Amino acid sequence: MSEYTAPLRDMQFVLNELGHLDQVSGLPDCEEMSPELVEAILGEAGKFASGVLSPLNISGDHEGARWNDGEVSTPTGWKKAYEQFVEGGWNALSCEPEFGGQGLPRLVSALVEEMWNGANVSFGLCPMLTRGAIEAIELRGSAHLKETYLPKMVSGEWTGSMNLTEPQAGSDLAAVRSRAEPQGDGTYRVFGQKIFITYGEHDLTDNIVHLVLARVPGAPDGVKGISLFVVPKFLVNADGSLGARNDVRCVSIEHKLGIHASPTAVLAFGDQGGATGWLVGEENRGLEYMFIMMNAARFSVGIEGIGLSERAYQRALAYARDRVQGGELGVKSRDKVAIIRHPDVRRMLLSMKSRTEAMRALACEVATAMDFAQRHADAEQRQRSQAFVDLMIPVVKGWSTENAIDIASLGVQIHGGMGFIEETGAAQHLRDARITTIYEGTTGIQAADLIGRKIAREDGRTIALVIERMHAVEQQLLNDGDANLQAIGRVLGQGVAALEQAVAFIVREYATQVRQVSVGAVPFLELFGIVAGGWQLARSALVAQQRLRAGSDDPFYRAKLLTAQFYAEHLLPRAGGLAHTVLNGGDAALAFDEEQF
């Protein structure tokens, strides 16, 4: 059985040759981030991913998490792997040093995160959710909450969970009904049922710190009346030891299409008189805090999509090299060849590979901006970078995850009949990937956020700057003497023009016909993703061509050039049709009466 291998060469390319690490290591507190140190970190992470997490991926899927009378056991080997994960300090990688974290730049931790997800997405979810909970407490928790919880959560000794969804409140958190009654001693009693809680119950650690959205008495209706609480599974004594079991129970876990090893819990709070909780920040501002974290989580789910895509590609590639079937097309010979020789198999592999590399480069562009937004000395630069991050997060999340589903499905296809057999492993990637366009905000939610808050509300100011950067790359390509680069430049130019046209339409029409424009929101997100990915691969092609001209004989550069060329001819040409749909696709969908469907 093939195991995951971290794509270190491409990661190094994005970090060092697209210039991201150079930029980030110039930021305060990042000075020590030399290429050598980062290479060492990624190398170690890659070993952990391949050696510890990847071998548990299929067995974890097969065995799944199991519920028994309120307790949840993770699959065989999970607990030991988690211990090693904590011992290795991996949980603390991107956390603040104040509470024991290593404070690594997001650029670096994003690539490490890609490895956890590539090796074992069900496992990767646990630290991802913990990180979200840590950020909430870091951001707005009292000193007491920080001291009590953060050191153990940063180390990974305890995990965290995010409790948002209720049966009637999924995409619409305004409908949250859980309630929290102040007890006069600084604590609250929390009541309610939460569903879809990832790692809401498990046996990896002694304690779980639930972050819970609930309403205090008299709170306003809707999103402005939601508060955020810390509700630990076990209360914590003053000396840090564990006290009484809190009134939160895992009622069941879900039977899901994928991520079987990741327990998805239904949690009942307060069935025995109220779960003890502590307010985070101020009352009624819970959703605001949640949204700050949610942005980080959305980026992380985008990274999940990239990790899953890489894994699906690696598995399909190994099979395509190994599987002999049929003769070579256009050659007079009876010899059978490996299916990687067949044109259509190449098309599928390169569709997987080119998009995965485009997504990785784009995510790193955004991660770099995250580091700028957080650490840059200049406030204006911080703000500019944050605006870019805010614009791009729905694209990284929505586009990378939609791609991941399609890429995992192509992975199945390359395996032919074997892809449909569960033991092969290709089908698991598709099942696992299928959740990524749903949780932390569906693609529809991402797209609505993108066209509304991120584009129309600011009249397309930030995206105009991105488009400018795209045009600059286009010009470089067109001005190059190489015919292949020029060809990429022309198709990129057409893609950017389609994007500009769609942006202009959105900016112009959003205020007066928001419903029509919204029918095109997801097509627009796809359009933006495709063109942004093309921009990144075009940049990569320019660098690769430069290296080859300088005499490098590293086959990586030739492959990168061809990958960018493939993407330009197979993905970018979709832009024009998508722009047409954005501009013209609203009327019929809205004219339908509900009964007519």
Among 53, 125, 395, 522, binds its own copies (CB under 8 A): 522
DSSP state of 166: B
**3-class state of residue 112 by DSSP:** helix
Residues 368-427 that bind its own copies (CB under 8 A): 405, 409, 412-413, 416-417, 419-423, 427
7/124 with CB nearer its own copies: 7
Q: Is 551 in the site for its own copies (CB under 8 A)?
A: no
Shortest reach from residue 141's CB to its own copies, in Å: 28
Shortest reach from residue 312's CB to its own copies, in Å: 14
Shortest reach from residue 406's CB to its own copies, in Å: 9
In three-state form (DSSP H/G/I as H, E/B as E, the rest C), the secondary structure along 539-558 is HHHHHHHHHHHCCCCCHHHH
Interacting residues of 243 by C-beta distance below 8 A, sequence separation 6+: 234, 235, 236, 237
Dihedral (Cα; 383, 507, 294, 470), 10-degree rounding? -60
Shortest reach from residue 338's CB to its own copies, in Å: 8
Among 34, 59, 171, 486, binds its own copies (CB under 8 A): 171
Among 430, 456, 506, 532, binds its own copies (CB under 8 A): 430
Q: How many residues bind its own copies (CB under 8 A)?
A: 104
Given the rule CB under 8 A, which of 42-50, 98-106, 297-305, 585-593 is the region that contacts its own copies?
Answer: 585-593
Residues 43-72 that bind its own copies (CB under 8 A): none
Cα 354 to the chain's mean position, in Å? 18
H/E element, 73: strand 71-73
Question: Going residue by residue from 173 to 192, which x/- string records binding to its own copies, judged by CB under 8 A?
Answer: -xx-----------------
Q: Distances in Å between the alpha carbon of 300 and those of 91, 280, 306, 389, 437?
A: 14, 23, 10, 13, 12
Among 261, 521, 538, 542, binds its own copies (CB under 8 A): 521
120/443 with CB nearer its own copies: 443
End-to-end CA distance of the chain: 47
196, burial (CB in 10 Å: exposed 0-12, middle 13-18, buried 19+): buried
H/E element, 209: strand 208-214
Q: Is 434 in the site for its own copies (CB under 8 A)?
A: yes
Q: Distances in Å between the alpha carbon of 357 and those of 14, 121, 156, 534, 593?
A: 9, 19, 31, 10, 43
Given the rule CB under 8 A, which of 7-15, 121-129, 470-478, 564-572 is the region that contacts its own copies?
Answer: 564-572
Encoded tokens for 482: 């190489």
Q: Is 4 in the site for its own copies (CB under 8 A)?
A: no
Shortest reach from residue 593's CB to its own copies, in Å: 7
Among 346, 382, 384, 471, binds its own copies (CB under 8 A): 346
Cα 326 to the chain's mean position, in Å? 39
Are the C-beta atoms of 67 and 264 separated by less than 8 Å?
no
Closest CA to 549 of 480, 595, 492, 499: 480
User: What is the Cα–Cα distance from 20 to 361, expressed in whole angstroms?
Assistant: 10
Q: Is 508 in the site for its own copies (CB under 8 A)?
A: no
Residues 304-333 that bind its own copies (CB under 8 A): 317, 321, 324-327, 329-330
Shortest reach from residue 355's CB to its own copies, in Å: 14
Among 242, 251, 438, 464, binds its own copies (CB under 8 A): 438
Encoded tokens for 119: 């090796």
Among 39, 254, 288, 480, binds its own copies (CB under 8 A): 254
Residue positions annotated with a catalytic role: 440
Question: Going residue by residue from 192 to 231, which x/- string records binding to its own copies, judged by CB under 8 A?
Answer: ---xx------------------------xx---------
